[in-house]
Structure 1
């Protein structure tokens, strides 16, 4: 397995993985190909703030992804390049799960964000994945609050 940062020519596979990850929760009549075109259009202006990491098996088949959204923080005196990061859309093909691929993807995305200077890396996880993120060093925070819509 090889983890690498996704490139523009990986968009069709990323779109397929995103579609597979969400189509049961958010059914749509949109085809994977139509979504791939939309994703390519969306990613072009966001490619520096939303980085995708992919897991490749031999032959170079992409079997998983993890995105990291980089969020610039308000500048402070002496610290104008502050950054936060949020892990998003982690997905591994069902037949490849349980092999550490998701953990390796999250590690790669987190380390990259930290290398870029991110002050913190967050993740909004489903209940089942919480133990995985805890094994990777993520901790619950009483200070991280969220306000529901409405």
Structure 2
């Protein structure tokens, strides 16, 4: 296994990034086969979405031996102006995924660090992440900390 490069995704890699998102969504049950017709259609549509949202969603990739083996997204959100700062933005780390056979080697941490570096470069105030219990140590190693001021509520309408 070759060295792993972590960086912003290139346009030609957006379909591969989308296929990782497909795998992420189907990892625990269901068809994870990236070659399926549904996955290919999703990849094309999601890559087009990525191009259309390039100003607000920045994909990062981990690449080894020419293959995209991991991804993470920086979603950028405008914030309400304050008297001292009319232009404010924050970020959210989203959809961080590393292929199962490459987990445990620090790739997820490196992707999270790349998202944080991009956020700093863009002058964002802070970055949040919604983490599974298993991934919390990965994000903590990258520099994330629990914040007692943050709360979470699901906005979806509950089923009756």
Name the TM-score, length of structure 2 as normaliser. Answer: 0.85
User: 2:150 aligns to what SS in structure 1?
Assistant: coil
> Of 53, 68, 72, which aligns to 2:78?
72
Say if 2:65 is the partner of 1:62.
Answer: no
Say if 2:119 is the partner of 1:113.
Answer: yes
Structure 2 partner of 1:53: 60
Unaligned runs of 5+ in 1: none
Between Structure 1 and Structure 2, how many residues are aligned?
Answer: 149
Structure 2 partner of 1:19: 22
User: 2:125 aligns to what SS in structure 1?
Assistant: strand
Closer, same or farther: CA 25–48 of 1 in aligned 2, 3 Å: farther
> Of 20, 37, 41, which aligns to 2:48?
41
* Residue 137 (structure 1) shift: 2.0
* Residue 12 (structure 1) shift: 1.4
* Residue 44 (structure 1) shift: 2.4
Name the TM-score, length of structure 1 as normaliser. Answer: 0.90
User: 1:98 aligns to what SS in structure 2?
Assistant: coil
User: 1:89 aligns to what SS in structure 2?
Assistant: strand
Structure 2 partner of 1:4: 7
Unaligned runs of 5+ in 2: none
* Residue 26 (structure 1) shift: 8.3
Q: Distance in 2 between matches of 1:31 and 1:45?
A: 21
Within a 5 Å distance, the mapping from 1:101-140 to structure 2 comes to: 101-140=107-146
Cα contact 2:110–2:142 (8 A) shared by 1: no
* Residue 104 (structure 1) shift: 0.5
Q: Distance in 2 between matches of 1:40 and 1:61?
A: 16
More divergent stretch after superposition (96-105 vs 19-28): 19-28
Closer, same or farther: CA 125–30 of 1 in aligned 2, 3 Å: farther
